[in-house]
Amino acid sequence: MVDLLEHEGKKIFKSYGISIPSGYIIHSFKEVKKPEKECVVKAQVPSGHRGINGGVVKVKEKEEILKAINKISSINFNGFKATSFLVEEMVPHTKEVYVGLTLDRSRKMPVLILSPSGGVDIEHVPANQIKKFYLDILLGMQNYIKREAFNFIGLSENYREIFYTLMERLWNVFTGEDCELVEINPLAVTSSGLVALDSKVTIEDDALFRHKNYQKEYTSLDPLEAEAKRKDIAFVRLGGDIGLIANGAGLTLATIDQIKLAGGSAGDFLDLGGTDDPEKVAEAINLVKKAKPKVVFINIFGGVTKADTVAEGIIKAIKDSDTNPKIIVRLMGVNNQRGIQLLKANGIDAFTDISEAVKKAVEVSN
């Protein structure tokens, strides 16, 4: 996925006619301008809770902007450091609400999510303060949905047409930009209308061929996930201490379950797909090692994939590195006996039985 920074999302909003505060993006001190009114400096990082973590600072003078940038630059936002900053005017408002459009994959439908209580504490809003409206992808934002959504939000009657127009434009962003998520939190209710004080826009990977301008970087990703993406490797950090490599998404997910049932915790999801290229295998192992797992568990169930060439890639990765975590391998498929012999000859524990292999990996991790 491509998770756009706030100012990038707001640029899209503006192009679709959604109101945003006036402001500008800066990358260095020399770009700072003297503010004409009270402003806010916002860290541009693909991470939530910026306000809580000190990434949003109110300022009135140029010197305060410089101090704010200096302070924000030193903050670690879930592994990200701010290198760009949005300076925008403060927008006086009487109410903050939440509006979002995303996909409900279980229902295979877009869903509109609203709350009359937006802002930094949206995760703690009671369930009765959140409402979902499921949308037909062909019919879009129908009038009855806009009407019910407006009544739920609880705005005064003079905002009705403004809100209806916003819903249409939000839907146009969602479909026109092939989004997985479009979120405004908070949406400010001002004396003259509705203003998007923040933006969260996520573009669907499979639609990037239609949006060349979004392919510059996978900004939302963990640095290792971004590296994997550039190398065309399916890799997701999970937080456990067993680095996992398997071939095929289904097998990878099933292996995560097996590890959990055995009392362990997978530290990542890395899908080799159908490759048995030793270079690709070695590259995958080196990527997982950077996550510093206690043990690397490799589960290969080969059809087209040749087990012996996978083994060669594992051995290559070990020989090319000075530091290696313990590696446990389960090999099944074409030439698996030769592959197991190669691995054992190089001091690597190798199994054909998945239960034995998982048990060994969990024992090592504990």
| 3-state SS, residue 149 | helix
What CATH number has the domain bearing residue 171? Answer: 3.30.470.20
Are residue 262 and residue 136 in the same domain, yes or no? no
CATH of the domain at 228: 3.40.50.261
Whole-angstrom distance, CA of residue 310 vs CA of residue 52: 46
CATH number of the domain bearing residue 40: 3.30.1490.20
The pLDDT, as a whole number, for residue 166 is: 97
Residue 137 has pLDDT above 70, yes or no: yes
State the pLDDT at residue 151.
96
Q: Are the CB atoms for 27 and 83 separated by under 8 Å?
A: yes
Block residue for tokens 């609880």? 154
Judgement on whether residues 142 and 109 belong to the same structural domain of the protein: yes
Quote the CA–CA distance of 268 and 96 in Å, as a whole number: 37
| Domain match, 101 and 166 both | yes
The pLDDT of residue 259: 93
CB distance 184 to 198 below 8 Å: yes
Confidence of residue 216 (pLDDT cuts 50, 70, 90): low
Q: Which of 133-147, 208-222, 343-357 has the highest mean pLDDT?
A: 133-147
With respect to residue 6, please indicate whether it lies within any of the assigned structural domains.
Answer: no
Just list the catalytic residues: 98, 183
pLDDT tens string 230-255: 777 788 878 788 989 888 888 889 99
How far is residue 171's CA from residue 167's CA, in Å, rounded to a whole number?
A: 6
One domain for residues 231 and 321: yes
Total of domains in the chain:
3
If asked whether residues 119 and 48 sit together in one domain, one would say no
For residue 7, being part of any structural domain is answered with: no
84 and 103 share a domain? Answer: no
- For the entire predicted model, the pTM comes to 0.69
Question: 64, 89, 114: which is the final residue of a domain?
Answer: 89
pLDDT mean over 48-63: 90
> With 70 as the cut, is the pLDDT of residue 322 above it?
no
- Tell me, yes or no, whether 239 and 352 share the same domain: yes
Q: In this structure, are 154 and 252 located in the same domain?
A: no
Q: What angle do CA 261, 262, 263 make, to 5 degrees?
A: 90
Boundary-marking domain end, from 41, 64, 89: 89
Residue 247's domain comprises 223-365
